[in-house]
Each structure stands twice: as C-alpha cells, then as structure tokens.
Structure 1
Amino acid sequence: MLHIKIPQIEEIVEEAINRAALEKEPQVISYVEQIDTADSIAFLDRAKQISPHRLYWRSADEEFVLAGAGSAKRVYSGDDHRFNEIEAMWTTLQEKAEVYDMYGEKGTGLVAIGGFSFDSLEERAAPWEAFPDSQMTIPMYLLTNKGESSFLTTNLLIFKEDHTQQIIHQIKSDKKQLLHGKRTELNLPERINTLEVQPEEWKRSIQKATEYIKGGQMEKVVLARELRALFKEEVQLAAVIEKLSETQPNSYIFTVESGGSHFIGATPERLAKVDNQQLISTCLAGTAPRGKTDKDDKKLGQALLDDPKNRQEHDFVVQMIREAVEACCFDIEIPEKPVLYPLRNLQHLYTPVTATLEDGYTLLDVVSRLHPTPALGGMPQQKSVDYIRNNETLNRGWYAGPVGWFDGRNNGEFAVAIRSALIQKNKASLFAGCGVVEDSDPEAEYDETGVKLKPMLSVLGGY
C-alpha cells in the first residue's frame, strides 16, 4: 500500500510493530526522503561498515545511480520458471508492504536489485557456489541519485518483538555513517599473478563448434573463457567501482554481493529498460578494437560495418529481439542498419529497439523473452544453450546473465552481465566470450576475448 501523506518514522515503525503482532507475520515498511546531494561511490564505500551486502547500479545513458546497503528482504528462485516466480513473489511483497513516498521518483521506495544466472539448468560449481540461480534484494538503505537530486529510502522488515526506539536509534546511526562516515576503500588492487584457464583447450572448443555448425546443427554459438587473478590484498570494492565508472562512461556499472563474493561489471549491453511503459532494448553484437589514431579508428570501424561475419552475428540478434518484443509490445521501431557504438577499448555494431509495453506486461516478462539473446547464447536459442552447458570449458554462473533492478512502479532496467568479474576477497575470475560461426578462426576469437578482458583487467591491477 502506497501512502502519500508521510507520518514521522517513529509512528511508522510503531504501527508496523503492532501490525506484525496482530497479523502474526513480519511487516515490510519503506520510507523515502529527499536528502542533500550524496556521492554514490562514497555511500557504497561507507556501507561496508553497515553490512557486507552492498549493491550498485549506474545507468549508461542517463544520470541515474542506485547504491544499496544491507538487505531488508531477498527473493530467490531456482527453477525453469524463475522469472515468473520472482515476479509473483515481488507482487505479493508489494501488496503487503507499507510504502511512504511523497516523491514518486523512479528507483525510490521498494526497489529490488540483483540478477539471474545465465542458465538455470547449469550445475552450480566453482567459483559460483555463493550465488543462487536468481537473487533480487531490497536494500535496507538505498541511495537514488537522479540528475542533481538524491533520495534515501529506508526499507525495514519489522517483527512483533522489535522496539521502536531501538530501531530509530539504529536508523540514525546508520544514516550518519552512510552519509557522513569516513571512506576506507581508496586503493586499486595490486595483482601478483594471472592465470589463463585452459587456453589451448578453449581454442579446440572453438574449432569443434565450427565443425558442429558446418554440420547444420546450429547457426551460431557463443563460447566464453575465464582468466583468474590473484592480488596482494583483499580487493577494495568501492575503489574498483569508482575506477570503472571513470574509465567506462558509456557502460552500465554494477555490483551484486552474495555470500561474501562480489560480482562486478562494466557492460555496454542493455537487455531491456522500461520507463513509464516505454521499452528500450539494444542489439549490441559484432566487435572490433579502437584505433590508436582517428584514421585507424575510422578504418577499423568501417571494416566492422563491412564485415559479413559480424553483420550476420548482429542480424541474428536483431531478429530475435524483434520477435521477443512483438509478443508484448506495440509501436515497435527498429532501424534497418546498425551504427557504431564506441567504448574506450572496443567498438560494437549497435541497433536500438524502442516500443511501448502492452498493459499487463512487466519488465521481467520482456527479460524472460529476450534472455539469452544470440549475442550471448547463439542460434537457435535452446540448442545453443544446451551446447554451451555441455561443451563450454567454464561454469558461467551469472556471467552473461541479466543483472539490473526494478521498482514498484514497473520501472527498471537490466543489462547483460558481460565485461565482468567475480571477486572473492583477494582473488578474481574474469570472463569474456565470442560468437562462433562456421568460418570462425580459433586464434582470432582468442584475440577478441583478450581485447574484451582488458577493460576489467585495467582496473584490477593494470594490463
């Protein structure tokens, strides 16, 4: 239930305690206030003193950032219908929660941040033991930065045994730390060792896949590889996220914590965004490096636009997205030809997709239809995912899965978790993949994944 008139937080907590006793179940309350402009990276840093569970999301195309501390509530699912199950749990949670928000800005109030693994049928194994198949978290404290405005949402799970003044004291103490505490995570990690996991076996897997494709079993499959890094000390999360934000301005920056591990990334690829029923999706497939000079850069970009292999790979994704979006949207607009999307280290073929979401559909409905796109799985979708599960040389976990957020107003955004790494104290696993078609060359694909690993490597100890 959404309340426009906002009582004092003491009244809200006391009412929730009474309601918990009366209804014999814990109560979720959400309280939104506008605050002085706050630095999201500093908030993320200071949050370590509040809770090990920290979350972060920065949009790639607008001034919009979410930073979360602690966990008021988490929802999980681990079966084939995970998107529908998460949606159902989220709907029930919203119906029972008491939300006090007089601002109505997107990304405030009840907001869930998290993600999903690439393949729900893949057996959970190293290094992903701490991550469930899906996990969406409502942070205890959520900083929402939208343009020059900052909002702080306090989400609490209230039990009948709780005491009002004790909770109020804790909130005041936590807010003081989050907004005015000292920063402690200022240093980038010092890397002492790097290990490429089975590179020759991975190249052989590329050759095997091309032969499989030539046999008519598939049109395309995406195969990823892993690189492991060891650091002198435990990685300071806020420092890494801050550097990624500086060096990858056109990417989505994210971090999700689970069981003490942090999945982080700077991905250029949006999966889907819904803002006031307006849907935006992105086709980003086909990759080339940036040039050292403007002339070289333009030459590489034009070569990418003219390359049959990359254009074919890109078109696979465009057609799949078109089919998925048509199932739940109208007023669909898709340009006929891609353009270049430049990043600091790479450039991609890019086609935007816009539409209006039909009534009764949600962001998760769109995500479930889009994931995995041919850019992350292959074509046909199910055959390629099955092939990856049985033949890839690593355990993907959340790599290449949907990561993002949604709120109680059906706004939200998910990106594809590429250009990413799993940080476990003083260790990290980095991931990168490439699209394999019948004429793919293993050495060329290996070099392409090396280029894709560079943005993350550059902040995790340098090149």
Structure 2
Amino acid sequence: MNNSGQNILIDLIKDNLAFYQIVFPVEGKQVSDFIDAFDRNSDLIIYHSKPSADTEYLAIGDIFHFDFSNEDLSQLDEFLLIFKDNVTAGETIENLPLFFGYTKFPSVVKEKYWNKFKDNFWVIPQYLIFNKGQNLFCAQNIFTTSAFDELDKKFIEESQNFITNIIKEEIRIKEEVRIKKLSDDDSLIWKQKVNEAIKDIKENKLQKIVLARKVNYKITGSIDWSGIFEKLNSDYSDCFNFLIKTESDYFFGSSPELLGKFEKDLFRTEALAGSINRGSDEYEDSDLALLLSASKKNKKEHDIVIEHLRENLQNHLFNIEIDETPLIKRLKNIQHLQTKISGRLKENLRYFHIIKSIFPTPAICGIPTRQSLDELKTLEGFDRGLYSGIVGAFNLFGEAEFYVAIRSALISENILTAFAGCGIVEESNPEEEFTETELKLQPIISLFSNEN
C-alpha cells in the first residue's frame, strides 16, 4: 500500500475521528440523471447500476482512499480491519456501500493511456446519491471529532445547498456523438494469434487462454452520460453498468459477469464462459441455446472456469454448492453458459483474500494463470488496464459486490478504445472467435453514431 494511504489512516486513528453519514432527500427520477452535472463539477465520479436489483449509485469526490499495487491486493483486508476497529462509527446506514473503486487486470505490458488510473483504487466518496424504491437520497460522508458541534452543522448545510444547486443545474443541449474507427487488429493477424494459442494448448503449454482485441475510434461531440446509461440500463438490465471518471478520462461498460458477492457469511460467484449469438425469435434463441449447451468446445471452456473456482474457493468456504447443469444467460445480442456457485464464509471481512485467490479467472485470462499472463504479453501485446479488471463496492458490514470489467471501453483525449475477448481452447475456430469478439463489442459501439 502506498505511504499516503497508511499516513491518512494513522492520522484518522490518532485524531480519534468519527465517521458520519448525513442523509437528505433529493429531487429527481433516477440517479443517472445527475451524472452530467457532477461530471462538470468533480474530477472523480463513479456510477454503478444494476436495474434488475433496483440499485443505482453515484459516488462523487474523495474524503479517504486506498491505492496500492496489484501485488498488495489482499493487504487491503488488514487495513479495513484497522479502519473498522479504530475509526468510531457515528451515524451510518448499514446496507449502503462505503468504498467504491477498481482493480486493474495484471497485464505484463504497461502503457501510458492508463496512467490516470491507479493499479488499485478504493475510495470513500464525499457524496453518494442513491435510490431507495422510487425516492432519491444523498449521503454526505464526514470525518469529524466525536462531538458534533455547530461548525459541523453549518458545514453540512452548506454542502447540502451545494449539492442541491448542482442537481438543479440546467442540462446542456444534447448533441450527436460520433465515432470513426482509427485502428483495429487486422482480422487475419488476430486469427493467426488464435492459431498460435491453439498450438500452445496442443503442446500442453496451456489449457486455455483468453485473447482480447482493442479497437480505437476518434470520438467527437459532448457525451450525454445520462443518455448513455438510460440506454444501457434499458438494454442490459441484468448487467452491472458502470462509469469511472478520473480527471478527464472515463472508463465505462456493462458487465454480465459477477466475480464475487458477499452477503454477511454467504459468498456467491459464477462461471460465465461459452457464448453464442441471439436468435431472431424465441424459437431460434432456444435452438441456439441447445447448440451452445451441446458444444464440446464451449463446455470445455466453461468447465475449466468451474474447476478453477472450486479449487481456489475450498480454503475459504464451507459447503460449496455448484449448479449441476449450466444455465443460459441471455443478453440483448449474445447468450452465455452460466453456472452459479455459492458457499458459507470461513472468515468475515476478508473480501480481498478471497477475490485475489480467484482473480483473474480463466474466463478472462487463462489457465495456468502465470503462463497465460506471460503468453498474453506476446499474443496481445497491449495493456488491458481496467478492461477485464475488477469494479465494485463494499462496506464494513460484510456486504460487497465485485464484477469483472468486460464489455467496456476507455475514453482518453477524444479517443475511444473498446475491448473484447474470447476464450481459446484446443477446439477453437479462429473465424468463430473473431465473430464472437465482434458481438461483444456491440454493447459499447452501438451507443454512438458510427461513421464507418
């Protein structure tokens, strides 16, 4: 962990500060309506939405954060315990997330276009706008002395007025946002990389590897983030839709893949691997789903992920339960094999020990993990950054939710970089794998007017 994170935590403990959440109602229909207003007023915003679970959060600003290298990921659990034991809890809402953030994919290659994002970053925001049923609220997070004096109350009133005024800001005129392709992996070259991966698998160097593509677009126009997420929340209501803004760069997406959900002593995860397109109607959908379930290639790819999760979770969970038969998870343009996995936690508040034991999974990296990461340096040759990393949120009451950051893109300096990958096993067909990546790019590309 970096020294600044340690020093801030030491200062909080030394000063005997208490943590408070002050909650007040705000006017509005949905949390995503406020993204653009706060985009103009804050260098750090994080938006999360899971429409099927009726949850929506907009985190703004930074009053405390941890940032550290990927190698130190599990150390965060120790600091969370210190934080919980030494920072007095004043008034807090138990089921609200407290920390929001991300972890990058552990790419061997490092590139400067990800420089504005840390390897790991988990923040307590200054403000959190959230929904509760049909009503919207704002939680203001505060560290203060145990005595809640008049100065604090005045500060709170000023902050509430500040938030209210931003929310009431007139929304700027929406304009068409256009993208034009600048560069892409040549399809023939990428398919050759798939063949190289298949060769490595046949030579028993790997069991499976996930190869990703990145496609760069020039983007013009002012992005209407509220409109973007209105569409994503409608079209991908069963996905985890997210946005992370740091300074002038944005990372966003719509992930169907749960990495881990903690509910007190219960842990849930899933194997999501093996894909096929959607049909034109219900009957074709069902026929394609049957083909997917019967596919030797897709079943093998899926089973490798299940076995990885089973093996690495057995030291952390009691009574691991795994679906006997994969389900079909249908999204707007693609179908996946999905197997749900759950168990009872042996220890509480050990989020990152467990997450580190399973991440990166073979659904986004490969198996064996170390060899796959080394091979990706050659075959992919680019820094994935936050793509296929971790996005999520957690509190100190045993509740946390983490997703794999796929179906995602980066916007930096008017360049949109969209990412998509697919699992390669011995039975893979390069042409079919390329087509699969094209399908997986659509959730992002379809949000903009494409000039190509």
In the superposition, the TM-score normalised over structure 2's length comes to 0.89
User: Cα deviations across residues 80-137 of structure 1 (Å, max 9, x unaligned)?
Assistant: 122x232233333344444433642x125xx111111110x63431421211111112
**Structure-2 change in CA distance of 1:26 and 1:448 (3 Å):** farther
Give the match for residue 7 of structure 1.
Answer: none
Q: 1:448 offset after TM fit, Å? A: 0.8
Counterpart Cα distance in 1 of 2:448 and 2:198: 33
Counterpart code for 2:111: A
Counterpart Cα distance in 1 of 2:200 and 2:71: 27
Secondary structure of 2:71's counterpart equals coil
Q: Check conservation: 1:73, 1:157, Cα contact below 8 A.
A: no
Counterpart Cα distance in 2 of 1:392 and 1:412: 32
Give the match for residue 450 of structure 1.
Answer: 438
Q: 1:354 offset after TM fit, Å? A: 1.7
User: Cα deviations across residues 259-295 of structure 1 (Å, max 9, x unaligned)?
Assistant: 4211101010000101222211111110000011222
Give the match for residue 426 of structure 2.
Answer: 438
Secondary structure of 1:80's counterpart equals helix
Matched, 1:48 2:39: yes
Q: Which moved more, 1:405-414 or 1:196-205?
A: 196-205
Give the match for residue 90 of structure 2.
Answer: 100
- What 5-or-longer segments of structure 2 have no aligned partner? 1-9, 146-150
Give the match for residue 75 of structure 2.
Answer: 85
Listed as ranges, the matches of 1:176-255 within 5 Å are: 176-184=164-172, 186-187=174-175, 189-255=177-243
Counterpart Cα distance in 2 of 1:375 and 1:326: 19
Counterpart Cα distance in 1 of 2:288 and 2:201: 27
Which residue of the other structure, out of 5, 21, 27, is the alignment partner of 1:31? Answer: 21
**Structure-2 change in CA distance of 1:369 and 1:37 (3 Å):** farther
Counterpart Cα distance in 1 of 2:292 and 2:136: 41
Secondary structure of 1:350's counterpart equals strand
In the superposition, the TM-score normalised over structure 1's length comes to 0.87
Q: Check conservation: 2:327, 2:337, Cα contact below 8 A.
A: yes
Matched, 1:118 2:102: no
Listed as ranges, the matches of 1:53-452 within 5 Å are: 53-59=44-50, 61-82=52-73, 84-101=74-91, 103-104=93-94, 106-108=95-97, 111-119=98-106, 122-148=108-134, 150-156=136-142, 164=152, 167-168=155-156, 170-184=158-172, 186-187=174-175, 189-452=177-440
Q: 1:178 offset after TM fit, Å? A: 4.8
User: Cα deviations across residues 221-275 of structure 1 (Å, max 9, x unaligned)?
Assistant: 0010001111222433333222211211111001112242111010100001012
**Structure-2 change in CA distance of 1:245 and 1:52 (3 Å):** same
Q: Which moved more, 1:275-284 or 1:388-397?
A: 388-397
Q: Check conservation: 1:50, 1:70, Cα contact below 8 A.
A: no
Counterpart Cα distance in 1 of 2:202 and 2:13: 63
**Structure-2 change in CA distance of 1:96 and 1:238 (3 Å):** farther
Counterpart code for 2:129: L
Q: 1:378 offset after TM fit, Å? A: 1.1
Counterpart code for 1:205: K
Counterpart Cα distance in 2 of 1:377 and 1:361: 26
Counterpart Cα distance in 2 of 1:85 and 1:188: 45
Q: Check conservation: 1:46, 1:177, Cα contact below 8 A.
A: no
Q: 1:149 offset after TM fit, Å? A: 5.2
Counterpart code for 2:33: A
- What 5-or-longer segments of structure 1 have no aligned partner? 1-19
**Structure-2 change in CA distance of 1:24 and 1:356 (3 Å):** closer
Counterpart Cα distance in 2 of 1:60 and 1:382: 36
RMSD: 2.7
User: Cα deviations across residues 121-160 of structure 1 (Å, max 9, x unaligned)?
Assistant: 634314212111111121110123244454422124569x
Q: 1:327 offset after TM fit, Å? A: 1.5
Secondary structure of 1:385's counterpart equals helix
Counterpart Cα distance in 2 of 1:170 and 1:325: 48
Q: Which moved more, 1:334-343 or 1:318-327?
A: 318-327
Counterpart Cα distance in 1 of 2:79 and 2:277: 43
**Structure-2 change in CA distance of 1:277 and 1:265 (3 Å):** same
Q: Check conservation: 2:70, 2:103, Cα contact below 8 A.
A: no
Q: Give the number of aligned pairs.
A: 437
